[in-house]
């Protein structure tokens, strides 16, 4: 009979994966936490504020990072991808590929050696709204808090030459493969925003000032591309009038037939950003129906703000005045059966959630996914999807779900 391992593989270092890893470790399991990018934190680390408390995600993440640092049972592998999983429940061999950071372990100063580098690469932390250096600490909430060379930078000869001159850089480091033995698997690779350019009539590709809700989150963040000032991308003008277009892709048979669950609350939350930023700030929310789920009181609080306008109608068009750059959102206002054409500075599309597993499947046989690519739990194989790998959820539901999965693992 094959050996039975109690150790746990957690894939994905976002809020769900981090939670699952530390909770499992605190219940006594050996945990391997594998994250594809060079830092833990996932999409949560790119948030400005959580709803409904409107606090930054920093403290919650820091507490979790601290728990991970203090717990020898969690081993964290960043810049690491899972290539292959073989075996069965209790006895899995997992092949992982580790991309080097191309930074010497002896480094003492993680910042100054890279200061002279020019920011030339799109910064994915800011959803491409700013540029990053070819070598730097990914962002101020990164864990580990270490610089990394973006492998993309090595494709350009002159950048590569610049990097080679830096003492702390070591481009001779090689990609490594290793095998991990585990008994159970928690899959927490999260989600990505729906590609808004596929909804032609919302003009995401055409107008710079039509952005997605994750991009707006970065605009509002102090550590974002505008240092938290709500400036519209086209001309840097203050975005005092902002339209939020709900269900941008979600609840649409041609796009994402399911409700993405968080976008209503996200837009309600984001409407407070513009109200906080400017005394005369104003928001319009175009919705089919508001699904505030467990946060009805938050919704009511926003409804009481007379500068936040709720327009019942799925927006059907965005127009732009070429002179002022103003955008106009065209929609029915169903409560009055009127048509509206609201002039705004910025349009924020509440784009839906696509599970990462829609494209990147778990590299093992015998698992099932639903019609939209969400992974279905398989207790017989001890493979458990958590958070947005299972269905669209907000941060707190994701944390609860991840904790619950640890108890399921504990029974194996």
Residues that bind another protein (CB under 8 A): 200-201, 247, 251-255, 288, 312-317, 330-332, 334, 337, 339
Q: How many helices (H) and strands (E) does the chain have?
A: 7, 22
Find the shortest distance in angstroms from Cβ 119 to another protein.
Answer: 36
Q: At what angle do helices 296-303 and 263-277 cross, to 10 degrees?
A: 40
Matching residue, tokens 């006594």: 28
List, in order, residues 6 or more apart from 66 with CB less than 8 Å away. none
Q: Choose between 89 and 198: whose C-beta lies nearer to another protein.
A: 198
Q: Choose between 182 and 245: whose C-beta lies nearer to another protein.
A: 245
Find the shortest distance in angstroms from Cβ 254 to another protein.
Answer: 7
Find the shortest distance in angstroms from Cβ 247 to another protein.
Answer: 7
Q: Choose between 90 and 316: whose C-beta lies nearer to another protein.
A: 316
Find the shortest distance in angstroms from Cβ 195 to another protein.
Answer: 16
Q: Choose between 193 and 224: whose C-beta lies nearer to another protein.
A: 193
Rg (CA), the chain: 22
Q: Choose between 72 and 200: whose C-beta lies nearer to another protein.
A: 200
Closest to 202 in 3D by CA, of 329, 340, 343, 346 = 329
Q: Choose between 63 and 339: whose C-beta lies nearer to another protein.
A: 339
Find the shortest distance in angstroms from Cβ 300 to another protein.
Answer: 23
Find the shortest distance in angstroms from Cβ 210 to another protein.
Answer: 16
Give the three-state DSSP class for 403: helix
Chain mean position to CA 305: 29
| E runs forming strands in 251-379 | 282-287, 308-312, 317-320, 327-333, 338-344, 346-351, 353-355
């Amino acid at each position: 009979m094959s050996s039975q391992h109690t150790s746990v593989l957690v894939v994905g270092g976002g809020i769900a994966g981090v939670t699952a890893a530390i909770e499992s470790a605190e219940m006594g399991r050996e945990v391997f936490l594998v994250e594809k990018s060079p830092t833990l934190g996932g999409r949560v680390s790119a948030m400005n504020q959580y709803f409904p408390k409107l606090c930054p995600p920093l403290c919650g993440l820091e507490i979790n990072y601290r728990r991970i640092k203090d717990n020898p049972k969690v081993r964290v592998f960043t810049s690491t991808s899972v290539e292959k999983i073989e075996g069965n429940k209790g006895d899995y061999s997992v092949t992982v590929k580790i991309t080097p950071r191309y930074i010497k372990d002896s480094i003492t100063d993680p910042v100054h050696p890279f200061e002279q580098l020019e920011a030339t690469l799109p910064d994915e932390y800011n959803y491409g709204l700013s540029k990053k250096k070819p070598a730097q600490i990914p962002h101020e909430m990164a864990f580990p808090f270490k610089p990394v060379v973006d492998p993309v930078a090595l494709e350009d000869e002159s950048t590569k030459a610049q990097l080679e001159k830096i003492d702390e850089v070591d481009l001779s480091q090689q990609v490594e493969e290793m095998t991990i033995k585990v008994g159970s698997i928690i899959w927490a690779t999260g989600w990505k925003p729906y590609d808004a350019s596929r909804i032609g009539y919302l003009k995401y590709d055409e107008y710079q000032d039509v952005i997605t809700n994750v991009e707006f989150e970065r605009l509002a963040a102090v550590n974002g591309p505008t240092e938290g000032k709500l400036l519209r991308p086209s001309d840097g003008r203050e975005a005092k009038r902002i339209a939020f277009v709900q269900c941008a892709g979600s609840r649409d048979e041609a796009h994402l037939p399911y409700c993405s669950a968080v976008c209503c609350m996200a837009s309600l939350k984001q409407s407070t950003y513009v109200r906080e930023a400017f005394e005369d700030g104003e928001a319009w929310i175009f919705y089919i129906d508001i699904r505030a789920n467990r946060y009805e009181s938050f919704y009511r609080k926003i409804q009481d703000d007379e500068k936040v306008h709720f327009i019942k109608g799925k927006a059907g068009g965005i127009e732009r005045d070429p002179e002022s750059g103003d955008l106009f959102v065209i929609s029915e206002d169903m409560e009055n059966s009127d048509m509206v054409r609201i002039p705004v500075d910025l349009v924020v599309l509440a784009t839906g959630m696509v599970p990462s597993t829609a494209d990147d499947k778990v590299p093992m046989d015998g698992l099932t996914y639903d019609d939209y690519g969400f992974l279905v739990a398989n207790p017989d194989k001890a493979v458990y999807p958590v958070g947005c790998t299972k269905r669209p959820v907000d941060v707190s539901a994701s944390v609860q779900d991840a904790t619950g999965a640890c108890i399921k693992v504990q029974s194996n």
